[in-house]
Amino acid sequence: MMATLLKWMVPWEFSWVFLAIFLSTCVLYLRGSRRLPVSFGRKLAFWIGMAIIYLSLHTYLDYYAEHEFFMHRIQQVLLHHLAPLLIVATYPATVLRAGLPLAWRLRVLRPLQRSWPWRLISGVILNPLVATLLFVVFVLIWLVPSLQTLAMLDWRVYRFMNWTMLISGFAYWSLVLDHRPHPPGRMTAGLRVLSPAVTMTPQILAGAIVTFSKTDLYPIFEICGRAFTFNVLTGQLIGGVITWVPAALIESIGGLLALRQWLRLSRNGRLPRRPLRQPTLRSSATTSPSAE
């Protein structure tokens, strides 16, 4: 039992970069949650999201993601949709900031946030149009068979693929689940609700194409050696359904969470109100008084 558990927990491909980022985030959140009041539900959602990221990238599950298409799609949905949604829904930025020592906040974080590279990068990645496009594009582009083959043959491309899925997921959900009005929020409240319906549409179409395909679109998994022995098209069908149904369901949940925030902002009177238009008075043509 213990040997089996250890086998699953040992990373298939060890990464010092991932481990350092993961542990640093965990330590900051633990420190911050001791300094700020954080509800049990928020803590639970955060740690579940972090556990999903770790299990997807740094355990033996990664082996199956590299050797079976439908397991790969499960990994991508977890990294791109579920884990970022769970973590962003807890609004962890304030807690993570509180976890930093005061001197680091004053001497490192504040100057960094004011620097032009930080403002440029965050301005591009968190632009609503860019973030929405990247959220969809990174799903579709890694479904292209030639790029999927490249990712499976080159570990650097494979890691780049996983990081792009994770980062684009965090960027998108941080805009959709923003609890602030617009401005200072980057998206309007109504657009936050509608955006998941827009982004899920091309993903549903892509998932349907993979699901109903009668040919093996990803023979690279046969070359790498499949983890399971059932029919190739059956695994591809399952992978297409995962891209289609669970991903759309998670985005629907995200849209409902955005709707709840919209209603909360409206109830608290925090939505910007458009100024009432004054009716334009059109005076009739006046005639000059005649001299009597």
Domain range summary for the chain, segments of one domain joined by + = 11-102+121-267
This model's pTM is above 0.85: yes
Q: Do residues 62 and 56 touch, judged by C-beta distance below 8 A?
A: yes
Q: Using pLDDT thresholds of 50, 70 and 90, give the confidence band for residue 291.
A: very low
d(CA 73, CA 96) in angstroms, rounded, equals: 30
CA distances 4 to 12, 19, 72, 74, 240, Å, are: 14, 22, 22, 22, 30
d(CA 71, CA 78): 11
What lies within 8 Å, CB to CB, of 62 at 6+ separation is: 11, 12, 13, 56, 75
Q: Which of 135, 125, 128 minimizes the C-alpha distance to 186?
A: 128
Query: What's the pLDDT tens digit per position in 111-169?
Result: 988 998 989 998 999 999 999 999 999 999 999 999 999 999 999 999 999 999 999 99
- Specify the DSSP class assigned to residue 143: T
Report pLDDT digits (tens) over 21-59: 999 999 999 999 999 999 999 999 999 999 999 999 999
Amino acid at 111: P
Q: Are 56 and 158 in contact (CB under 8 A)?
A: no
26: CB partners within 8 A, 6+ apart: 50
Give the count of alpha carbons within 13 A of 174, CB side only: 15
